[in-house]
Structure 1
Amino acid sequence: MTSNVLIIGATRGLGASLTKLYSAKPSTTVFATTRSSDPPSGHNSGNENVNWLAGIDVASPDVGQKLIAQLPSSTKLSVVIISAGYFGFETFDNPDWEKELKMYTTSAIGPVFVVHHLVHAGHLSHGSKVILVSSESGSITLRHEKEGGGNYGHHASKAALNMVGKLLSLDLKEKGIAVGLVHPGFMRTEMTKNVGFDKYWDDGGAVTPDQAAESLATFIEGFDLSKTGQYWAPRGPRDIGTAEVVLGKGLPTPLQLPW
């Protein structure tokens, strides 16, 4: 059976790895988005199973319309993964208004309009799965003095995304569309390196985007309406520094995260 997978934010990091992974599966067609006006020259560019949708910026008000305009009208999507993200580093002494706006828009506003337009255009229907890539940093319960404060826009925008996902799950449950929130893992990416988190990679158990993509794809296979609206760490607690401090030892994998 042919399946169609849409990956929002497919040119780097987790999105690029997911694109490579899904496009290698038999009978799977991947629709992959890039913010650029042209398909990328690298990152799965020569893969015939990847259809690039250009000029798709999840932080833009017209992201939904641009997406629908490029998807073939008859396309039924089995899985949509919104992995586009932006992390602007902040401290209490140096908060940044523009960075926060971009983080909130990218994480918690854009996905609403993406899903809205996909549903109303008939691309999502009974049996479809929508996966919103969040972070353990969006869990209020897991925030602990061990890791301190700061990074207001990043953490709070992920918490906002979690609420967005929960609300979407309530709106879409009767349509048979499952919505999940996931912490894919602490990854060795340019995004985490750019904010200085590469110094924590080794001690924090950071994994490559390819490793995170494998565990996420396995989780998605078993994800359905019975878990809709829930918040999960497919790789378990291994890279969540406050997990055992807050939740105790002997935690399972996958791990359902607390809000």
Structure 2
Amino acid sequence: MNILIVGASRGLGASLTKFYAQDKDNHIFATSRTSSTAESPEHITYVEGIDIASEDAGPSIVKRIKPSGKTLDVVIITAGYFATETFDKPDFDAEVQMYKISSIGPVFIVHHLVKAGLMAKDGKIVLVSSESGSITLRHESEGGGNYGHHASKAALNMAGKLLSLDLKAKGIAVGIVHPGFMRTEMTKGVGFDKYWDAGGAVTPDEAAASLKQYISKLDMGSTGEYWAPRGPRDIGTAEPVLGKNLPTPLQLPW
């Protein structure tokens, strides 16, 4: 398979790159915002200098992949940004950045890949969202705040649904996923590491393993749907809102 992972320099993206690279028959195009001097195996191509919040991200990716002559079987967009806010202290610039990275950039990247003819027939596009983007799951027990993070993920969910409709005739499946509450620098950077143990947070490797399994089963029968491959175990509002004995994987409500 030929796989594009957007946001591959750390966290979930880095783990996915590592897992897919274990099969030498896979070729991985792995994007990052910065340059790296580290050598990589022949079946990994690092596409550097890609900022998903920039309008030229899509054309830049196309420019790097097109000469290879390869078409993409799987595209996984994992890039994210999380800045915390409260009602008393909203952050305009941070919210704009979260929307650009989470819900605007992915649409333009997919647009450019498809229009350039780089998506294989029966290809798959996976948008890494979050349970925080579910309006139904927002519950008084967790309160408000974090407007940009939650709302930009809700916007990504809508973008994914709309993409699934536009790409259905092309046979390209679109999956929208909550990969799990992860022990990453991003969640630690906003102080959520204090919730890691109680919230059932997993390593990026653990999240990548379940996400890889989900992707293997994604097809046109589930295109446009919103799933938690690891089930409700790390979603604190799942039982109060949806009830007990929930299945794994769990289809999430919008």
TM-score, with length taken from structure 2: 0.98
- Give the deviation of 1:50 after TM superposition: 1.1
Retained in 2: the 8 A contact 1:35–1:57?
Answer: yes
**2: CA distance between counterparts of 1:63 and 1:29?**
20
Structure 2 residue 23 is the aligned partner of structure 1 residue 28: no
Q: Counterpart of 2:95 in structure 1: which amino acid?
A: E
- Give the deviation of 1:99 after TM superposition: 0.4
Q: C-alpha deviations, 1:211-240, integer Å up to 9, x for none?
A: 000000001001101000000000000000
- Give the deviation of 1:126 after TM superposition: 2.1
Q: Counterpart of 1:30 in structure 2: which amino acid?
A: I
Aligned to 2:47: 53
Aligned to 1:6: 4
Runs of 4+ in structure 1 off by over 4 angstroms are: none
Q: Which of 153, 156, 161 is residue 158 of structure 1 equivalent to?
A: 153
Structure 2 residue 66 is the aligned partner of structure 1 residue 72: yes
Aligned to 2:36: 39
- Give the deviation of 1:242 after TM superposition: 0.3
Aligned to 2:188: 193
Between the aligned residues of both structures, percent identity stands at: 66
- Tell me the secondary structure at the aligned position of residue 181 of structure 1: strand
Aligned to 1:63: 57
Retained in 2: the 8 A contact 1:34–1:53?
Answer: yes
Retained in 1: the 8 A contact 2:66–2:118?
Answer: no
Retained in 2: the 8 A contact 1:125–1:176?
Answer: no
Retained in 1: the 8 A contact 2:179–2:229?
Answer: yes
> Which 5+ residue runs of structure 2 have no aligned equivalent?
none
**1: CA distance between counterparts of 2:64 and 2:152?**
28
Aligned to 1:19: 17
Q: C-alpha deviations, 1:36-84, integer Å up to 9, x for none?
A: 1x2364xxx5333210001111000111111111113421111000000
Q: Which of 218, 221, 226 is residue 223 of structure 1 equivalent to?
A: 218
Retained in 2: the 8 A contact 1:34–1:40?
Answer: no
TM-score, with length taken from structure 1: 0.96
**2: CA distance between counterparts of 1:148 and 1:175?**
41
Structure 2 residue 96 is the aligned partner of structure 1 residue 101: yes
**2: CA distance between counterparts of 1:62 and 1:253?**
38
- Tell me the secondary structure at the aligned position of residue 27 of structure 1: coil
**2: CA distance between counterparts of 1:47 and 1:17?**
15
**1: CA distance between counterparts of 2:217 and 2:160?**
18
Structure 2 residue 134 is the aligned partner of structure 1 residue 119: no
| Corresponding residue pairs, total | 253
| Superposition RMSD in Å | 0.9
- Give the deviation of 1:93 after TM superposition: 1.0
**1: CA distance between counterparts of 2:63 and 2:148?**
31
Retained in 2: the 8 A contact 1:11–1:40?
Answer: no
Q: Counterpart of 1:235 in structure 2: which amino acid?
A: R
Structure 2 residue 127 is the aligned partner of structure 1 residue 129: no
- Tell me the secondary structure at the aligned position of residue 199 of structure 1: helix
**2: CA distance between counterparts of 1:39 and 1:164?**
32
Q: Counterpart of 2:86 in structure 1: which amino acid?
A: T
Aligned to 1:174: 169
